[in-house]
Amino acid sequence: MASHCSKQSLHFTLTPTRPSDRERVRDFVNSTHVKASALCDASRTQQISDLPNDFPELHSDEAWAALPEPHGWVFEDPGSGAILGAVGIKPGDDIASTVHVSYLFVAPQARGMGLGRALLRAALRGAADDHRAQSCTLLSLKGVYAPALALYASEGFQETREETTRFYTLVFMELDLAQWAAF
């Protein structure tokens, strides 16, 4: 089922990802992630070489096909078909009760229009309704993705821990889906 979002007379279509979307979503996520994280001290070469590890389901047909449906949503410009935002979920460590937001990116030109919130909510609805998950986890980068962290907190995610790596400070967050759905 597609839903629509419009702001300032711009129109976008939110649809579940299809098997044929993997390469387009991968290219969009890789490009958006590398541009955003280039603000960190990490070398661009290291960032690019880490992408298959960061988003394995986008770099393997087998991993993509193994994910339970629905596992992703995209906002597309209906005129050009360009992806303006994408979100993906996958089973967490405890497959029976947890899902993990594996990526959520919005194109720079589409930020500030509510697409990120709509994508996150689609993923959370999918996690709660279709996957019957009880909780949702995610990982983000402190500093680089400050607006995303604010979005996650506004939807009820709680920080569970931070971990400093060579290049980033990672922020781990979790959401109780039953509490989220009650609002």
Q: How far apart are CA 104 and CA 75, in angstroms?
A: 11
Strands (E) in the chain, as ranges, are 3-7, 10-16, 72-76, 83-91, 98-106, 135-141, 158-164, 169-176
Strand partners, 86: 74, 105
Q: In this predicted structure, what is the pLDDT of residue 44? A: 45
**Taking the domains of the chain in order of start, what are their residue ranges?**
3-182
Q: In this predicted structure, what is the pLDDT of residue 37? A: 53
Domain spanning 3-182, CATH class: alpha beta
pLDDT digits (tens, 9 = 90+) for 123-179: 999 888 877 889 999 988 888 788 999 999 999 999 999 998 877 788 999 999 988
Question: How many CA within 13 A on the CB side of residue 146?
Answer: 4
Q: How far apart are CA 163 and CA 182, in angstroms?
A: 31
Q: In this predicted structure, what is the pLDDT of residue 6? A: 44
Selection from 131, 123, 39, 42 nearest residue 75 by Cα: 123
| Residue 30 φ/ψ, nearest 5 degrees | -60, -50
Q: At what angle do helices 22-37 and 44-54 cross, to 10 degrees?
A: 140
Predicted TM-score of the model (pTM): 0.83
DSSP three-state, residue 108: helix
Question: How many CA within 13 A on the CB side of residue 8?
Answer: 5
Q: In this predicted structure, what is the pLDDT of residue 1? A: 44
Selection from 64, 70, 179, 168 nearest residue 119 by Cα: 70
User: Which residue carries 């702001």 as its tokens?
Assistant: 7
State in Å, rounded, how far the first CA of the chain is from the last one: 23
Q: Mean pLDDT, to the nearest integer, of 26-43?
A: 66
Amino acid at 28: F
Region of 132 on the Ramachandran plot (φ > 0 left; ψ -120 to 50 alpha; else beta):
left
